Amino acid sequence: MTRVMIYKRFERFWHWCQVLLIFTLLFTGFEIHGTYSVLGFAEAVRFHSLAAWGLVVLWLFVVFWLCTTGEWRQYVPTRKGLFAVLHYYLIGTFTGAAHPYRKTSRAKHNPLQRLAYLSFKLVIVPVIWVSGLLYLFYRDWPVTLAESLALETVAMVHTAAAFGVLVFIIAHVYMATMGPTLTSLIKPMITGYEDLDEED
């Protein structure tokens, strides 16, 4: 086993900033939706908008970083080993089976992770951003859009996408606790290093 830098400094910065911003968005968003009252509607809207623009800026840097470093390849889906990983998560984890995927610094995401992250980025993220921007700029809608689309519909779509984000987070956190120890898969996202059977 070799101690390998698996998550670079920017990846860790991006991950934890994203966590903070998404939790801020969920907390303030559900308050705006009327689920509870903690900050008050006006303050919740203000913090929600600030966190949303912060996430937009962060994701622009992330896209630039992924493209310039070639790390985008980590998210390209593959069917190779997908069913073995699915079988592991559905059955193997409860029977003490070994994980079928061998992580390396060049392929840190297993086939199921790649599929989940790509689906999140191509399905949930566009829906939440388009509906969020429509919601934010509803006063500037052209007449034809205002006559054909109700703000309530946009709000409900945005809320449904927020629930999608919440489900993704719950699954993500659950999967992150499925290592040999409770924190063995979380620690590398803090330190950057993981012990891997890395070939030269």
Q: What is the DSSP string of the chain?
A: -EEEE-S-HHHHHHHHHHHHHHHHHHHHHHHHTTS--SS-HHHHHHHHHHHHHHHHHHHHHHHHHHHHHSGGGGG----TTHHHHHHIIIIIHHHTPPPS---BTTB-S-HHHHHHHHHIIIIIHHHHHHHHHHHHTGGG--HHHHHHS-HHHHHHHHHHHHHHHHHHHHHHHHHHT-SSSTTTTTTHHHHSEEEE----
* Mean pLDDT computed over 109-138: 92
Rounded to whole angstroms, how far apart are CA atoms 170 and 192?
A: 22
Is it the case that residue 65 has pLDDT exceeding 80? yes
Query: Are 122 and 113 in contact, with CB atoms under 8 Å apart?
Result: no
Residue 194 is predicted with a pLDDT of 86
Lowest mean pLDDT among 10-19, 111-120, 139-148: 139-148
Q: Work out the average pLDDT over 89-114.
A: 88
At residue 166, the pLDDT reads 94
Report, as an integer, the average pLDDT of 108-121.
Answer: 91
Q: Looking at residue 3, what is its pLDDT? A: 86
Q: What's the rounded mean pLDDT across residues 104-131? A: 91
Rounded CA-CA distance 88/110 in Å is 12
Residue ranges covered by each domain of the chain: 2-196
Of the candidate ranges 56-65, 123-132, 155-164, 176-185, the one whose mean pLDDT is the lowest: 176-185
What pLDDT sits at residue 198?
A: 58
Q: What DSSP string describes 25-66?
A: HHHHHHHHTTS--SS-HHHHHHHHHHHHHHHHHHHHHHHHHH
pLDDT exceeds 90 at position 126: yes
pLDDT > 90? residue 102:
no
Q: Which amino acid, one-letter code, is at 67?
A: C
Percent of the chain beyond pLDDT 90?
57
Whole-number pLDDT of residue 200: 43
What's the rounded mean pLDDT across residues 138-163? Answer: 89
Superfamily of domain 2-196: Transmembrane di-heme cytochromes, Chain C (1.20.950.20)
Q: What is the pLDDT of residue 23?
A: 96
Q: What is the pLDDT of residues 14-56, one digit of tens each?
A: 999 999 999 999 999 999 988 899 999 999 999 999 999 999 9
HSE-CB at 174 with a 13 A cutoff on CA atoms is: 8
Select, from the ranges 9-18, 115-124, 134-143, the one with the highest average predicted confidence (pLDDT).
9-18
Q: How far apart are CA 122 and CA 39, in angstroms?
A: 32
Supply the pTM of this predicted model: 0.86
Is residue 10 pLDDT above 90, yes or no?
yes
